[in-house]
Structure 1
């Protein structure tokens, strides 16, 4: 299949079924005054579901999403959905942006116009990009793999084919966070000749530091990272353990209950964002529900969580990354990486501590991230 236009249209019967489920909920109880301490708060979730059932309009959001130029093509047997918006400038360079979990390609919805048309937002038209935002395999509108082994490495190979063979770019930029950070690093490791550079908003959990027993060889920063990361995994990493070991068991409940799905996702948006415990400080109800809807309407929560299993069981090791690398760290993100380790393992040419924001970088602070991406890639632009 060659590249084809893609248009979102969810069948009416799927929306009718969702409405029925939202009208017949069996709620659990919750300990008095426990709030979010033991997971998603009952009072908040009831309020969000009430809005979802009574006021949220999927067709309105579907129409807004269809304003983006969307496409689909088959790569390695998987139908890959992606946004492809061309830059409005004299010499845009292509950039592929890769999302993570539990967000979706919508992570980059706000930043796309800032990168394609910087002049309309106070920037320089010479800093424009052609922006490509794919949905990871098994996420949203991309089809799900029917075989094991589709991990960050395999996705990076798919992205190389998408950018070069399907879209015809000779060289391009790549950026990402969460799973997208891993995909981007494998892309840089295996295809450095294709990349101007890579830009990351995190480096994930650095497993080799956590398992290192040679404490004397670690810097003080690395030792502090190890302590913080192990504490975070102990307190917050339960979801990761389940998704890395028994994603299929989890999938039954989350695929059958929209409220169960909402609770699983919403807790992470609250815990990982720079919201100070108040989701409405960072996200509108519509924004959160639309992210949930992308999983619900496509029934891809099960296939999305399988990525954790594949990355835990089949990823090859990464060597030193020679491609110029920019890192932008948002202060409320999960366990910020030590610069010492990053410098030893990546060709760091720009390291920026951002003023605010959390894990969902392009959703929370699109302007700040867009400025940082433009600044990082500016030296690599070649005048035509």
Structure 2
């Protein structure tokens, strides 16, 4: 007969808790080679009660996407740095709808049918994909030299390349999670998304998506003479899910600093710094006649520098549903032309001029509050409201000062 002795912890009430062992996996690195296969080959062994460690002092080559399995009690620590491929064709080959490359530039490339990590034209995927789990931490480093993810996005911006362009980190379907101390340098696309997650804290992260030149990449010609260092389509945080807290994050980009998407409920965004982008946004909602549901969102204690928009709401004509109880409070604006911008006839500017839409439906907005705003060197037009059918209800503006 085999006997196993398991460690037990005696708890009050005579309850017994099985103490699980904790393991650590240090991701291997080989100079000049793709380090993703060395990680993914071992993920099944370290998907529960484990630390996955990218070591300090090493720059890892993440030449192909990483897709994590469902994780339980896992701490992913980026104490080193991570680097995307530097050439565009290598990434584009990995982002095609039907295939994912298992190699990198200069190496033999094997092809495998794989359609669910990243897509092409609509970019539904990410270079780092979390597929679900509980008690998951994705953590960088407090050392200013380490904990960086380098997307090498400058080359993409210079030639306005958007084909087969992946997003960054999809932290999806996570219950009880933490994203903290991650630093991103020149991302290719959007950065963080938290779709269908709940009870997640996003703390002390840095996103620097600022161009080195005045190429005005990805459509930023729309902002000529406003900023020469933009990288559009580089949203900082795309908030989806419930009970999310974004705190003390620093974002410099050419798109939304943070955007609250459909289905987001109980979202708090505080102590933010945003520069060069499109504001603290809700939406866009109601595209294609979809039904929106966004409730209980608080933005507070933010500084917005050299941004096109500040407090922003956007929905499409023809949409349905509602956005309720949205508050922007204690916001400081420096050189922001539109500190408050509300539109209910949003449209994709790249598709041409605003369409003439007469659909009577629209996303209902209720209990919007703009409280204690201070603007410096901004335009004379402090607020802009564009409601297709005057469907703005209970919008309150309190304590708005301009200097």
The answer to whether the superposition gives a TM-score over 0.5 is no
Q: Which has the larger radius of gyration?
A: 2
Higher helix share: 1
Relative to the length of structure 1, the TM-score reads 0.29
